[in-house]
């Protein structure tokens, strides 16, 4: 009901909007110079209506469900259904416009919209849909279960297999979906044939796309003796370009084939995925190790902060990782430009003028010019994640290679630029103090760790009287013998000797740490005895850490004792929520009694 309500609102809103600009809209259709202009105006009007209806669906979905419970493919299916339903409704609107203007619009508009939808679906949605369906079909439900350490290899093989199938199947469907025909014009066959012979693929399939696309592209794979590579050429390339410019564009597209850029992108995507996963693991390990070293046993107090930093770090790595992938794709464009001119002999001037023509803004009706936002300059973000470089950058790169005699595949990648910018580190003035500082730290750390290990061994092996007689132990009781981790008091507490614990508490052992270490012994009588004396000496943060550690080690009696103490009532609401959230029982799993007690409390 809610979805229907929002759809009705979208329809009424468009009727009201049309009533305000009815005269302008009808005048623009009557005064349009060509039939293509009329189709553009109606198409713009139709897509705005569909977008507003789809936006209404998303809002109603959020209100009714409270979240996006529908996947990407689900929303895509809804959008396609809205297009079909909207087109049926739009026929009534077109009849009204035809009566008002005397123009025949419905047949040409429907043909135009169907062609537009076929092209958009084939070029944008189809590859994603085919990949998703194939991945869903071939994915293993027990991936990672019972496969030992080979699940990673299985995962990577699955990606390669599905990617290859996607590219192969997409070509077959595109041939049926896109409005295309064979090239029969002799002058174009001659130009294309010469270029195909140059790259050694005279039998490649070439098709015109019978719609206004200012582009040519090659899809498909060539593996061993199998090849289904197909070049699609947009109609605008033969209407806008001279034969010499057309030849330069064809040479560019076939340069992608000659240099196997499609295969390289599949491999690069796989490398990118592996790099992302390995980077996540390494960054999490380094980040958590650093915070564990920095905060020590207080890490539990900063869980939210540590989690936020870890997530931001991983997102930053993902951003950088995928920027490298797009950088590789742009390098293929530079490489294809240079290969077409330097290796295949295409005219540099013709290639430059062709690029300029193909990047010009389309001739659109005045009605749409007033409603389109002014073109903005590309932001740094959009440049990083762009598949094609700026026109000026492509021309400058090509001219630079020619003038300096550089190879066609010369390209300074992002990692190379980073290494070049950091090359100053290799200077001896920087290296000597850095290496010296590192060696000094390594020697100092080694000495400290060996000394700490000696103290730990002494506490573990000696009797209480011998330990009490060693004054050096008392001086270092709060120090960490291994630089990170637990203090020396932990090893004292593990002996569960009240005489030793009392002595070192008098000598300055940290009471909060002592209670944490006592909870790890799970000796309730010993823990309760010291808690009564130390509870007033510890802060709220330390009390929270004792609670946290008791739950972590499943010290049930101690945890219940702490929860039922008067101190728990003074604990901040944030800490209580953290405890309940951290130790929330999982489905089909029995929680420790200590955890259940905290959640109930």
pLDDT band at 403, cuts 50/70/90? very high
Minimum mean pLDDT range among 6-20, 253-267, 482-496: 6-20
Rounded Cα distance between 375 and 383, Å, is 15
Q: Identify the pLDDT of residue 587.
A: 45
Q: Identify the pLDDT of residue 515.
A: 92
Q: Identify the pLDDT of residue 154.
A: 62
pLDDT digits (tens, 9 = 90+) for 462-504: 999 999 999 899 999 998 888 877 889 999 999 999 999 999 9
CA distances for 200 relative to 129, 190, 195, 204, angstroms: 33, 15, 9, 10
pLDDT digits (tens, 9 = 90+) for 279-306: 888 998 888 888 877 777 677 667 778 8
CA distances for 202 relative to 198, 257, 496, angstroms: 8, 12, 85
pLDDT digits (tens, 9 = 90+) for 214-236: 888 888 777 666 677 888 898 88
pLDDT band at 524, cuts 50/70/90? very high
Rounded Cα distance between 293 and 297, Å, is 9
Mean pLDDT of 94-109: 88
pLDDT band at 345, cuts 50/70/90? very high
* Mean pLDDT estimate for the chain: 82
pLDDT band at 342, cuts 50/70/90? very high
Residue located via tokens 């062609």: 115
Domains within the chain, CATH numbers bracketed = 179-421 (no CATH), 430-600 (1.25.40)
Rounded Cα distance between 488 and 477, Å, is 5
Mean pLDDT of 505-521: 91
The CA radius of gyration of the chain, in Å to the nearest whole number, is 35
Highest mean pLDDT pick, 47-51, 69-73, 127-131, 439-443:
439-443
Kindly report the number of other CB atoms within 10 A of residue 574's CB atom.
10
Q: Identify the pLDDT of residue 491.
A: 93
pLDDT digits (tens, 9 = 90+) for 453-471: 999 999 999 999 999 999 8
Apex 410 CA angle, 417 and 245, nearest 5: 125
pLDDT band at 178, cuts 50/70/90? confident
pLDDT band at 163, cuts 50/70/90? low
Rounded Cα distance between 10 and 12, Å, is 6
Q: Cβ distance 52 to 13 under 8 Å? A: yes
Mean pLDDT of 564-591: 72
pLDDT digits (tens, 9 = 90+) for 27-74: 888 888 888 888 888 888 888 888 888 888 777 777 776 555 566 667
Kindly report the number of other CB atoms within 10 A of residue 400's CB atom.
12
Q: Classify 231 as helix, strand or coil.
A: strand
Q: Identify the pLDDT of residue 164.
A: 65
DSSP H or E segment with residue 207: strand 205-209
Q: What is the dihedral angle through the alpha carbons of 46, 51, 56, 61, rounded to the nearest 10 degrees?
A: 130
Q: Identify the pLDDT of residue 224.
A: 66
Mean pLDDT of 385-389: 87
Q: Identify the pLDDT of residue 362.
A: 67
Mean pLDDT of 98-108: 88
Q: Identify the pLDDT of residue 148.
A: 47
pLDDT digits (tens, 9 = 90+) for 537-558: 888 888 888 888 888 888 889 9
Q: Which residues pair with 182 in a beta bridge?
A: 207
Q: Identify the pLDDT of residue 591.
A: 45
Q: Cβ distance 514 to 543 under 8 Å? A: no
pLDDT digits (tens, 9 = 90+) for 362-384: 667 777 777 666 666 677 778 88
Q: Cβ distance 338 to 411 under 8 Å? A: no
Q: Identify the pLDDT of residue 152.
A: 57
């Amino acid at each position: 009901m809610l979805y229907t309500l929002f759809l009705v609102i979208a329809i009424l809103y468009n009727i009201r909007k049309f009533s305000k600009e009815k005269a302008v809209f009808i005048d623009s259709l009557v005064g349009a110079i060509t039939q293509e202009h009329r189709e553009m105006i109606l198409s713009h009007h139709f897509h705005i209506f569909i977008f507003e209806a789809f936006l209404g669906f998303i809002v109603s979905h959020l209100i009714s469900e409270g979240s996006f419970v529908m996947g990407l493919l689900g929303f895509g299916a809804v959008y396609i259904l809205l297009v079909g339903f909207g087109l049926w409704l739009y026929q009534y609107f077109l009849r009204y416009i035809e009566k008002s203007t005397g123009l025949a619009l419905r047949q040409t508009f429907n043909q135009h919209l169907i062609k537009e939808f076929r092209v958009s679906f084939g070029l944008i949605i189809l590859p994603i849909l085919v990949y998703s369906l194939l991945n869903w079909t071939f994915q293993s439900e027990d991936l990672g279960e019972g496969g030992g350490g080979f699940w990673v290899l299985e995962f990577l093989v699955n990606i390669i297999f599905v990617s290859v199938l996607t590219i192969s199947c997409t070509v077959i469907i595109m041939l049926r979906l896109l409005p295309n025909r064979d090239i029969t014009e002799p002058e174009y066959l001659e130009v294309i044939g010469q270029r195909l012979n140059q790259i050694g693929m005279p039998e490649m399939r070439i098709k015109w796309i019978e719609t206004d696309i200012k582009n040519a592209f090659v899809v498909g794979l060539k593996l061993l003796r199998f090849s289904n590579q197909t070049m699609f050429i947009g109609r605008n390339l033969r209407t806008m370009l001279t034969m010499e410019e057309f030849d330069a564009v064809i040479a560019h597209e076939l340069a992608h084939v000659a240099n196997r850029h499609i295969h390289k992108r599949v491999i690069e995507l796989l490398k990118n995925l592996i790099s992302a996963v390995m980077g996540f693991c390494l960054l999490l390990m380094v980040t958590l190790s650093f915070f564990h070293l920095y905060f020590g046993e207080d890490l539990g107090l900063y869980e939210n902060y540590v989690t936020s930093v870890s997530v931001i770090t991983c997102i930053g790595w993902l951003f950088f990782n995928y920027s490298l992938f797009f950088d590789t794709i742009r390098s293929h464009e530079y490489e294809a430009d240079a290969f077409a001119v330097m290796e295949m002999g295409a005219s540099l001037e013709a290639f430059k003028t062709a690029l300029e023509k193909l990047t010009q803004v389309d001739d659109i009706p005045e009605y749409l010019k007033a409603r389109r936002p002014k073109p903005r300059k590309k932001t740094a973000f959009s440049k990083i994640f762009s598949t094609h470089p700026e026109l000026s950058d492509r021309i400058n790169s090509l001219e630079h290679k020619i003038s300096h005699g550089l190879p066609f595949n010369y390209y300074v990648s992002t990692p190379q630029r980073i290494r070049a910018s950091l090359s100053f580190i290799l200077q001896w003035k920087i290296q000597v103090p850095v290496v010296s500082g590192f060696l000094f730290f390594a020697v100092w750390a080694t000495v400290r760790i060996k000394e700490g290990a000696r103290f730990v061994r002494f506490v573990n092996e000696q009797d209480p009287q011998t330990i009490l007689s060693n004054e050096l132990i008392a001086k270092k009781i709060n120090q960490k013998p291994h630089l990170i981790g637990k203090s020396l008091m932990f090893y004292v507490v593990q002996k569960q000797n009240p005489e030793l614990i009392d002595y070192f508490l008098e000598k300055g052992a940290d009471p909060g740490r002592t209670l944490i270490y006592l909870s790890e012994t799970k000796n309730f009588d010993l823990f309760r005895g010291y808690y009564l004396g130390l509870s007033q000496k510890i802060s709220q943060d330390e009390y929270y850490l004792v609670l946290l550690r008791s739950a972590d080690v499943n010290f049930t009696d101690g945890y219940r004792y702490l929860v039922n103490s008067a101190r728990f009532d003074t604990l901040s609401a944030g800490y209580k929520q953290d405890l309940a959230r951290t130790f929330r029982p999982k489905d089909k799993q029995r929680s420790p009694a200590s955890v259940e007690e905290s959640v109930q409390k």
